[in-house]
Amino acid sequence: MYAESERQLSTERYLREDSASRSLYERALQVMPGGNSRHTLVMDPYPIYATSGQGCIVTDVEGQERIDFVNNYTSLILGHSHPEVTDAVAEVIGKGTAFSLPTETDIRLAELLIERIPYIDQIRFANSGSEGVLLAVRAARAATGRSKIAKFEGCYHGIYDYAQASDSSRPRNWGDSERPATTLEPSMAKSLETEVVTLPLNDIEVCCELIDEHRDDLAAVLIDPLPAALGLIPPDPEFVTALRAKARKCGALLIADEVLSFRIDYRGACHRLGIEPDLVALGKIIGGGFPVGAVAGTAEVMSVFDHRDGELVHHGGTYNGNPVTMVAGYETMRRLTPDIFDKFDRLGDRVRDGLQQVLRRHGIEAVATGRGSLFAVVPGTEPPKNFRAVFTARSAAPQLQGIAREMFNRGILMGSRGLFGSLSTPMGDAEIDRFLEAADGAAAHVLAA
């Protein structure tokens, strides 16, 4: 079992008055609002600061090592500092990091992805998943001549206003379940309430009614095939089939956001879950650890970006197709063979089954969710069907967040989402054993406290 003395060692240095993390956070507060540039780094009383990563191990500024089960929020599928990827990047850097001319590097990555993903013909690269979603929405508008988009309540699709609407839905503002309100953050334009149609996941009757109501103005329906905000619960297959047919019938495009979920299958999440989108947004793992985003789709729809045909969607970007990112992405993706995904399926099942057993052994009713290398935990006895059910379940089981934090104290690096994480190729059964051991100890500690 994980020794209590080892647990104390992992926290004592970090919490000391003279800890390096505390000092860095105090400096950060002086120059960045909240001391950070992304809210996913927030921790109480302050974040731990990393110095290095190798394989599946991250070392912090106190010298403490932890097994990384969040992998920069799923983007590092080969783990940290993969030697062949870093060698390829170093070679590119030595020749030049950016040009105002094209290079072969983005062609190679594009060819690899198009060969692998059965429902795309062409692709364009950007610098973040948010940009990939933004470009997909704009392409849909240009292709259809319409302006509105529909998206699902509670789902996160990056920081593009139209895609982020209804990400902030809560009981105080989410409205009737048969006509969900389009909720906005204070920074968003009020007009988005009329431009974004919010749909309830897995309720095809309500979705069809709302789509019909806006059919003349609806450019696209945006869906995540495995939404993290909904506990990595995929939509019902029958629901997806009906939604696909409904979107096609009313002339709207179906956009799949696979920025996070692309890693669950050799050919992507939509292929695995039987979804046929018109456009897909990509990011994270296709950049090999560097900033990346992409939009891909059928040749007909992607033609809106073609300058030879009138350039219906202008798409510039100083670092689009940057050779450093493109080489890292290519070297990463070509190493992800079908055998790797078979291994992820096996290890992922071990994590999910083991977590569920650990929690129930400690009297916590929970369902372990996810596919392949992604896992999460949702309170309850069965998987919920929509965002409201997930939100209500999580609110009733606050101890799960405490367990995730306590695992950090036991040598396991988790993120701010609670019991949510991802695997990387350096991991094996030994790392899964350590993870489940830490979860067992963390659950006992939190419940005792």
At residue 1, does pLDDT exceed 60?
no
Would you say 413 and 69 are in contact if contact means Cβ atoms under 8 Å apart? yes
At residue 419, does pLDDT exceed 60?
yes
Q: What is the mean pLDDT of residues 75-93?
A: 97
At residue 4, does pLDDT exceed 60?
no
User: What pTM did the predictor assign?
Assistant: 0.95
pLDDT, tens digit, for every residue of 129-187?
Answer: 999 999 999 999 999 999 999 999 999 999 999 999 999 899 999 999 999 999 999 99
Domains with residue ranges and CATH for the chain = 4-81+337-448 (3.90.1150.10), 83-333 (3.40.640.10)
Secondary element (H or E) of residue 199: strand 196-199
Identity of the residue numbered 26: E
Average pLDDT over all residues of the chain: 94
- Per DSSP (E only), the strands in 274-424 are 279-283, 293-297, 366-369, 374-379, 412-413, 420-422
**307 C-beta neighbours (distance < 10 Å), count:** 9
Separation in Å, CA 308 to CA 103, 144, 312: 20, 19, 10
pLDDT of residue 449: 81
Would you say 300 and 86 are in contact if contact means Cβ atoms under 8 Å apart? no
pLDDT, tens digit, for every residue of 240-295?
Answer: 999 999 999 999 999 999 999 999 999 999 999 999 999 999 999 999 999 999 99
At residue 98, does pLDDT exceed 70?
yes
